[in-house]
Structure 1
Protein backbone atom coordinates (compact mmCIF):
# COMPACT_ATOMS: atom_id res chain seq x y z
CA UNK A 1 0.00 0.00 0.00
CA UNK A 2 1.10 3.55 -0.61
CA UNK A 3 1.60 5.77 2.40
CA UNK A 4 3.99 6.63 5.24
CA UNK A 5 6.10 3.84 6.75
CA UNK A 6 5.27 4.20 10.47
CA UNK A 7 1.45 4.20 10.04
CA UNK A 8 1.92 1.31 7.61
CA UNK A 9 3.69 -0.77 10.24
CA UNK A 10 1.06 0.17 12.83
CA UNK A 11 -1.59 -1.09 10.39
CA UNK A 12 0.36 -4.33 9.89
CA UNK A 13 0.59 -4.83 13.67
CA UNK A 14 -3.11 -4.10 14.22
CA UNK A 15 -4.23 -6.47 11.48
CA UNK A 16 -1.83 -9.24 12.51
CA UNK A 17 -3.02 -8.96 16.12
CA UNK A 18 -6.64 -9.13 14.96
CA UNK A 19 -5.84 -12.19 12.83
CA UNK A 20 -4.08 -13.89 15.76
CA UNK A 21 -7.04 -13.12 18.03
CA UNK A 22 -9.35 -14.75 15.50
CA UNK A 23 -7.12 -17.84 15.37
CA UNK A 24 -7.33 -18.14 19.16
CA UNK A 25 -11.11 -17.76 18.95
CA UNK A 26 -11.23 -20.42 16.23
CA UNK A 27 -10.11 -23.11 18.68
CA UNK A 28 -13.06 -22.57 21.00
CA UNK A 29 -16.02 -22.49 18.62
CA UNK A 30 -17.89 -24.65 16.12
CA UNK A 31 -20.26 -24.35 13.17
CA UNK A 32 -20.93 -20.89 11.77
CA UNK A 33 -18.88 -19.21 14.51
CA UNK A 34 -15.87 -21.34 13.55
CA UNK A 35 -16.21 -20.47 9.85
CA UNK A 36 -16.58 -16.79 10.75
CA UNK A 37 -13.45 -16.88 12.94
CA UNK A 38 -11.48 -18.62 10.16
CA UNK A 39 -12.62 -16.02 7.62
CA UNK A 40 -11.73 -13.18 9.96
CA UNK A 41 -8.29 -14.69 10.65
CA UNK A 42 -7.66 -14.91 6.89
CA UNK A 43 -8.82 -11.32 6.50
CA UNK A 44 -6.62 -10.07 9.34
CA UNK A 45 -3.47 -11.78 8.10
CA UNK A 46 -4.23 -10.82 4.50
CA UNK A 47 -4.65 -7.19 5.51
CA UNK A 48 -1.39 -7.36 7.46
CA UNK A 49 0.45 -8.72 4.41
CA UNK A 50 -1.11 -6.13 2.09
CA UNK A 51 -0.39 -3.33 4.56
CA UNK A 52 3.39 -3.68 4.47
CA UNK A 53 4.59 -0.23 3.37
CA UNK A 54 5.66 0.00 -0.29
CA UNK A 55 8.78 1.90 0.81
CA UNK A 56 9.92 -1.24 2.65
CA UNK A 57 8.78 -3.94 0.22
CA UNK A 58 7.31 -3.51 -3.23
CA UNK A 59 5.68 -6.80 -4.17
CA UNK A 60 5.57 -7.81 -7.83
CA UNK A 61 2.23 -7.32 -9.63
CA UNK A 62 1.64 -11.08 -9.77
CA UNK A 63 1.53 -11.22 -5.97
CA UNK A 64 -1.30 -8.67 -5.92
CA UNK A 65 -3.11 -10.81 -8.49
CA UNK A 66 -2.62 -13.84 -6.21
CA UNK A 67 -4.17 -11.86 -3.32
CA UNK A 68 -7.13 -11.03 -5.55
CA UNK A 69 -7.63 -14.72 -6.40
CA UNK A 70 -7.26 -15.77 -2.74
CA UNK A 71 -9.90 -13.32 -1.54
CA UNK A 72 -12.22 -14.09 -4.46
CA UNK A 73 -12.05 -17.72 -3.31
CA UNK A 74 -12.73 -16.56 0.27
CA UNK A 75 -15.85 -14.73 -0.97
CA UNK A 76 -17.34 -17.91 -2.49
CA UNK A 77 -18.53 -19.50 0.80
CA UNK A 78 -20.18 -16.22 1.81
CA UNK A 79 -22.03 -16.09 -1.51
CA UNK A 80 -23.14 -19.71 -1.08
CA UNK A 81 -24.26 -19.04 2.49
CA UNK A 82 -26.29 -15.99 1.46
CA UNK A 83 -28.00 -18.04 -1.24
CA UNK A 84 -28.83 -20.84 1.20
CA UNK A 85 -32.36 -20.81 2.66
CA UNK A 86 -30.92 -22.25 5.90
CA UNK A 87 -29.00 -19.08 6.69
CA UNK A 88 -30.76 -17.24 9.50
CA UNK A 89 -31.50 -13.53 9.39
CA UNK A 90 -29.00 -12.71 12.13
CA UNK A 91 -26.30 -14.70 10.36
CA UNK A 92 -27.20 -13.08 7.03
CA UNK A 93 -25.84 -9.67 8.09
CA UNK A 94 -22.58 -11.12 9.35
CA UNK A 95 -22.13 -13.22 6.20
CA UNK A 96 -22.86 -10.13 4.11
CA UNK A 97 -20.16 -8.24 5.99
CA UNK A 98 -17.67 -11.04 5.25
CA UNK A 99 -18.64 -10.88 1.59
CA UNK A 100 -18.12 -7.10 1.45
CA UNK A 101 -14.75 -7.53 3.18
CA UNK A 102 -13.55 -10.24 0.80
CA UNK A 103 -14.68 -8.29 -2.26
CA UNK A 104 -13.05 -5.10 -0.90
CA UNK A 105 -9.79 -7.03 -0.57
CA UNK A 106 -10.18 -8.30 -4.17
CA UNK A 107 -10.75 -4.72 -5.30
CA UNK A 108 -7.72 -3.32 -3.44
CA UNK A 109 -5.46 -6.15 -4.65
CA UNK A 110 -6.62 -5.64 -8.25
CA UNK A 111 -5.95 -1.89 -8.03
CA UNK A 112 -2.48 -2.54 -6.63
CA UNK A 113 -1.77 -5.16 -9.34
CA UNK A 114 -2.78 -2.71 -12.07
CA UNK A 115 -0.84 0.05 -10.35
CA UNK A 116 2.28 -2.11 -10.10
CA UNK A 117 1.97 -3.27 -13.71
CA UNK A 118 1.63 0.34 -14.90
CA UNK A 119 4.70 1.32 -12.85
CA UNK A 120 6.71 -1.58 -14.30
CA UNK A 121 5.58 -0.69 -17.83
CA UNK A 122 6.86 2.87 -17.39
CA UNK A 123 10.25 1.69 -16.08
CA UNK A 124 12.24 3.87 -13.74
CA UNK A 125 9.76 6.73 -13.92
CA UNK A 126 7.67 5.03 -11.22
CA UNK A 127 4.50 6.14 -12.96
CA UNK A 128 1.23 5.03 -11.45
CA UNK A 129 -1.82 3.72 -13.26
CA UNK A 130 -4.19 6.01 -15.12
CA UNK A 131 -6.64 5.82 -12.21
CA UNK A 132 -4.55 5.89 -9.02
CA UNK A 133 -6.52 4.69 -6.04
CA UNK A 134 -8.97 2.75 -8.17
CA UNK A 135 -12.48 3.91 -8.97
CA UNK A 136 -13.19 6.97 -6.80
CA UNK A 137 -16.90 6.19 -6.34
CA UNK A 138 -16.27 2.57 -5.32
CA UNK A 139 -13.42 3.55 -3.01
CA UNK A 140 -15.62 6.24 -1.41
CA UNK A 141 -18.48 3.76 -1.01
CA UNK A 142 -16.22 1.24 0.71
CA UNK A 143 -14.77 3.98 2.92
CA UNK A 144 -18.27 5.03 3.95
CA UNK A 145 -19.32 1.43 4.64
CA UNK A 146 -16.31 0.70 6.86
CA UNK A 147 -16.47 4.06 8.65
CA UNK A 148 -20.15 3.49 9.53
CA UNK A 149 -19.43 -0.12 10.49
CA UNK A 150 -16.57 0.96 12.78
CA UNK A 151 -18.71 3.64 14.44
CA UNK A 152 -21.63 1.24 14.99
CA UNK A 153 -19.42 -1.53 16.33
CA UNK A 154 -17.50 0.87 18.56
CA UNK A 155 -20.75 2.27 19.96
CA UNK A 156 -21.95 -1.25 20.78
CA UNK A 157 -18.71 -2.01 22.59
CA UNK A 158 -18.79 1.16 24.69
CA UNK A 159 -20.09 0.37 28.18
CA UNK A 160 -23.59 1.70 28.82
CA UNK A 161 -23.28 1.52 32.57
CA UNK A 162 -20.71 0.73 35.23
CA UNK A 163 -17.82 -1.35 33.93
CA UNK A 164 -17.71 -4.79 35.58
CA UNK A 165 -14.70 -5.49 37.76
CA UNK A 166 -12.15 -8.23 37.22
CA UNK A 167 -13.67 -11.54 36.34
CA UNK A 168 -16.14 -10.06 33.83
CA UNK A 169 -16.10 -13.62 32.56
CA UNK A 170 -18.26 -14.62 29.65
CA UNK A 171 -19.39 -11.08 28.84
CA UNK A 172 -15.79 -10.01 28.30
CA UNK A 173 -15.11 -13.06 26.13
CA UNK A 174 -18.06 -12.28 23.84
CA UNK A 175 -16.67 -8.79 23.20
CA UNK A 176 -13.46 -10.13 21.66
CA UNK A 177 -15.08 -10.91 18.29
CA UNK A 178 -16.68 -7.45 17.85
CA UNK A 179 -13.44 -5.79 19.01
CA UNK A 180 -11.54 -7.80 16.41
CA UNK A 181 -14.05 -6.75 13.72
CA UNK A 182 -13.74 -3.13 14.82
CA UNK A 183 -9.94 -3.29 14.52
CA UNK A 184 -10.20 -4.77 11.04
CA UNK A 185 -12.79 -2.19 9.96
CA UNK A 186 -10.45 0.58 11.07
CA UNK A 187 -7.64 -1.18 9.19
CA UNK A 188 -9.80 -1.25 6.05
CA UNK A 189 -10.44 2.47 6.38
CA UNK A 190 -6.68 3.09 6.63
CA UNK A 191 -5.95 0.82 3.67
CA UNK A 192 -8.61 2.42 1.49
CA UNK A 193 -7.28 5.87 2.35
CA UNK A 194 -3.75 4.75 1.42
CA UNK A 195 -4.95 3.21 -1.83
Structure 2
Protein backbone atom coordinates (compact mmCIF):
# COMPACT_ATOMS: atom_id res chain seq x y z
CA UNK A 1 0.00 0.00 0.00
CA UNK A 2 1.42 3.38 -0.95
CA UNK A 3 1.94 6.11 1.60
CA UNK A 4 -0.89 8.27 0.23
CA UNK A 5 -3.31 5.30 0.24
CA UNK A 6 -2.28 4.44 3.80
CA UNK A 7 -2.75 8.04 4.97
CA UNK A 8 -6.16 8.17 3.26
CA UNK A 9 -7.21 4.92 4.91
CA UNK A 10 -6.19 6.14 8.37
CA UNK A 11 -7.97 9.46 7.80
CA UNK A 12 -11.11 7.50 6.93
CA UNK A 13 -10.67 5.49 10.15
CA UNK A 14 -10.39 8.75 12.11
CA UNK A 15 -13.41 10.32 10.37
CA UNK A 16 -15.61 7.30 11.09
CA UNK A 17 -14.41 6.95 14.70
CA UNK A 18 -15.08 10.63 15.46
CA UNK A 19 -18.53 10.36 13.86
CA UNK A 20 -19.23 7.26 15.95
CA UNK A 21 -18.11 9.05 19.11
CA UNK A 22 -20.34 12.04 18.38
CA UNK A 23 -23.33 9.74 17.77
CA UNK A 24 -22.57 7.88 20.99
CA UNK A 25 -22.79 11.21 22.82
CA UNK A 26 -26.23 11.79 21.25
CA UNK A 27 -27.68 8.47 22.43
CA UNK A 28 -29.22 9.88 25.64
CA UNK A 29 -30.94 12.71 23.78
CA UNK A 30 -31.93 10.93 20.57
CA UNK A 31 -32.39 7.29 21.46
CA UNK A 32 -32.24 4.31 19.12
CA UNK A 33 -31.27 5.96 15.85
CA UNK A 34 -28.20 7.60 17.41
CA UNK A 35 -27.15 4.26 18.95
CA UNK A 36 -27.32 2.61 15.54
CA UNK A 37 -25.34 5.45 14.00
CA UNK A 38 -22.69 5.12 16.74
CA UNK A 39 -22.28 1.40 16.08
CA UNK A 40 -22.11 2.11 12.34
CA UNK A 41 -19.45 4.78 12.84
CA UNK A 42 -17.23 2.60 15.03
CA UNK A 43 -17.78 -0.43 12.79
CA UNK A 44 -16.91 1.59 9.70
CA UNK A 45 -13.75 2.77 11.45
CA UNK A 46 -12.73 -0.82 12.17
CA UNK A 47 -13.59 -1.91 8.64
CA UNK A 48 -11.48 0.90 7.18
CA UNK A 49 -8.32 -0.09 9.09
CA UNK A 50 -5.75 -0.89 6.37
CA UNK A 51 -5.09 -4.57 5.76
CA UNK A 52 -2.29 -5.97 7.83
CA UNK A 53 -3.20 -3.94 10.94
CA UNK A 54 -6.31 -5.80 12.04
CA UNK A 55 -5.69 -9.42 11.15
CA UNK A 56 -8.25 -11.68 9.53
CA UNK A 57 -10.88 -11.33 12.27
CA UNK A 58 -12.25 -7.98 11.09
CA UNK A 59 -14.55 -8.90 8.23
CA UNK A 60 -16.33 -11.95 9.75
CA UNK A 61 -16.80 -10.34 13.16
CA UNK A 62 -17.93 -7.03 11.71
CA UNK A 63 -20.27 -8.88 9.36
CA UNK A 64 -22.04 -10.28 12.42
CA UNK A 65 -22.08 -6.86 14.10
CA UNK A 66 -23.65 -5.31 11.01
CA UNK A 67 -26.23 -8.10 10.83
CA UNK A 68 -27.19 -6.95 14.34
CA UNK A 69 -27.39 -3.33 13.23
CA UNK A 70 -29.56 -4.41 10.30
CA UNK A 71 -31.98 -6.07 12.73
CA UNK A 72 -31.92 -2.90 14.84
CA UNK A 73 -32.71 -0.87 11.71
CA UNK A 74 -35.66 -3.15 10.90
CA UNK A 75 -36.92 -2.51 14.45
CA UNK A 76 -36.49 1.26 13.90
CA UNK A 77 -38.64 1.05 10.76
CA UNK A 78 -41.65 0.72 13.07
CA UNK A 79 -41.12 4.41 13.86
CA UNK A 80 -41.33 5.45 10.21
CA UNK A 81 -39.87 4.83 6.79
CA UNK A 82 -37.29 7.60 7.30
CA UNK A 83 -35.20 4.99 9.16
CA UNK A 84 -34.79 2.96 5.96
CA UNK A 85 -31.39 4.61 5.42
CA UNK A 86 -30.11 2.80 8.53
CA UNK A 87 -31.18 -0.50 7.02
CA UNK A 88 -29.52 0.29 3.68
CA UNK A 89 -26.31 1.27 5.46
CA UNK A 90 -26.27 -1.82 7.66
CA UNK A 91 -26.89 -4.14 4.74
CA UNK A 92 -24.23 -2.35 2.69
CA UNK A 93 -21.73 -2.95 5.50
CA UNK A 94 -22.73 -6.64 5.70
CA UNK A 95 -22.15 -6.84 1.93
CA UNK A 96 -18.73 -5.17 2.20
CA UNK A 97 -17.74 -7.42 5.13
CA UNK A 98 -18.77 -10.55 3.22
CA UNK A 99 -16.90 -9.34 0.15
CA UNK A 100 -13.79 -8.62 2.23
CA UNK A 101 -13.95 -11.99 4.00
CA UNK A 102 -14.89 -14.26 1.12
CA UNK A 103 -14.39 -12.23 -2.04
CA UNK A 104 -11.46 -12.47 -4.37
CA UNK A 105 -9.82 -9.26 -3.19
CA UNK A 106 -10.13 -5.94 -5.05
CA UNK A 107 -13.24 -5.90 -7.20
CA UNK A 108 -14.61 -9.03 -5.53
CA UNK A 109 -18.16 -7.70 -5.11
CA UNK A 110 -21.16 -7.95 -7.38
CA UNK A 111 -20.81 -5.10 -9.90
CA UNK A 112 -24.56 -4.37 -10.14
CA UNK A 113 -25.05 -4.25 -6.36
CA UNK A 114 -21.89 -2.22 -5.83
CA UNK A 115 -22.99 0.20 -8.56
CA UNK A 116 -26.46 0.58 -7.03
CA UNK A 117 -24.93 1.29 -3.61
CA UNK A 118 -22.50 3.78 -5.15
CA UNK A 119 -25.40 5.62 -6.80
CA UNK A 120 -27.39 5.61 -3.56
CA UNK A 121 -24.52 6.98 -1.47
CA UNK A 122 -23.44 9.50 -4.10
CA UNK A 123 -27.00 10.86 -4.10
CA UNK A 124 -27.12 10.76 -0.29
CA UNK A 125 -23.88 12.72 -0.01
CA UNK A 126 -24.89 15.34 -2.58
CA UNK A 127 -28.34 15.78 -1.02
CA UNK A 128 -26.90 15.82 2.51
CA UNK A 129 -24.33 18.42 1.52
CA UNK A 130 -26.98 20.60 -0.08
CA UNK A 131 -29.18 20.34 3.04
CA UNK A 132 -26.24 21.21 5.26
CA UNK A 133 -25.43 24.28 3.16
CA UNK A 134 -29.03 25.51 3.17
CA UNK A 135 -29.36 24.81 6.91
CA UNK A 136 -26.17 26.79 7.53
CA UNK A 137 -27.52 29.71 5.53
CA UNK A 138 -30.82 29.66 7.44
CA UNK A 139 -29.04 29.53 10.80
CA UNK A 140 -26.68 32.36 9.82
CA UNK A 141 -29.68 34.57 9.15
CA UNK A 142 -31.33 33.75 12.48
CA UNK A 143 -30.45 35.45 15.76
CA UNK A 144 -28.58 32.64 17.54
CA UNK A 145 -26.91 29.62 16.00
CA UNK A 146 -25.37 28.20 19.18
CA UNK A 147 -28.60 26.52 20.33
CA UNK A 148 -30.45 23.53 18.96
CA UNK A 149 -29.93 24.59 15.34
CA UNK A 150 -26.15 24.33 15.78
CA UNK A 151 -26.61 20.84 17.21
CA UNK A 152 -28.83 19.85 14.27
CA UNK A 153 -26.16 21.08 11.86
CA UNK A 154 -23.51 19.03 13.64
CA UNK A 155 -25.74 15.94 13.43
CA UNK A 156 -26.23 16.54 9.70
CA UNK A 157 -22.47 16.97 9.26
CA UNK A 158 -21.86 13.71 11.14
CA UNK A 159 -24.30 11.85 8.90
CA UNK A 160 -22.73 13.42 5.84
CA UNK A 161 -19.26 12.34 7.01
CA UNK A 162 -20.43 8.75 7.48
CA UNK A 163 -22.09 8.84 4.05
CA UNK A 164 -18.82 10.00 2.51
CA UNK A 165 -17.04 7.22 4.39
CA UNK A 166 -19.45 4.65 2.93
CA UNK A 167 -18.93 6.09 -0.52
CA UNK A 168 -15.14 5.90 -0.11
CA UNK A 169 -15.26 2.29 1.09
CA UNK A 170 -17.54 1.29 -1.79
CA UNK A 171 -15.18 2.96 -4.26
CA UNK A 172 -12.26 1.03 -2.75
CA UNK A 173 -13.97 -2.35 -3.29
Q: Which band: TM-score by shorter chain?
A: 0.7 to 0.9
Check whether the contact 1:143–1:189 (CA below 8 A) recurs between aligned residues.
Answer: yes
1:46 counterpart residue number: 43
Gapped runs of 5+ residues in structure 2?
Answer: none
Decide which structure has the larger Cα Rg and report it. Answer: 1
1:79 counterpart residue number: 74
CA positional deviation for 1:162: 7.2
Gapped runs of 5+ residues in structure 1?
Answer: 116-128
1:170 aligns with 2:166: no
Check whether the contact 2:128–2:156 (CA below 8 A) recurs between aligned residues.
Answer: yes
**C-alpha separation in 2, matches of 1:76 and 1:134:** 23
2:65 counterpart residue number: 70
1:148 aligns with 2:120: no
Q: Which of 158, 162, 169 in structure 2 is aligned with 1:184?
A: 162
CA positional deviation for 1:160: 3.6
Compute the TM-score of the two structures, normalised by the length of structure 2: 0.87
**Distance verdict in 2 for CA 1:26–1:81, change over 3 Å:** closer
Check whether the contact 1:4–1:53 (CA below 8 A) recurs between aligned residues.
Answer: no
CA positional deviation for 1:161: 5.0
**C-alpha separation in 1, matches of 2:37 and 2:109:** 24
Compute the TM-score of the two structures, normalised by the length of structure 1: 0.78
Q: More relative contact order in 1 or in 2 (CA 8 Å, sep 6+)? A: 1
**C-alpha separation in 1, matches of 2:32 and 2:138:** 32
Following TM superposition, the consecutive aligned residue runs of length 4 or more in structure 1 with deviations greater than 6 angstroms are: none
Check whether the contact 2:121–2:166 (CA below 8 A) recurs between aligned residues.
Answer: yes
Q: How many residues align?
A: 168
Higher helix share: 2
**Distance verdict in 2 for CA 1:44–1:131, change over 3 Å:** closer
1:59 aligns with 2:55: yes
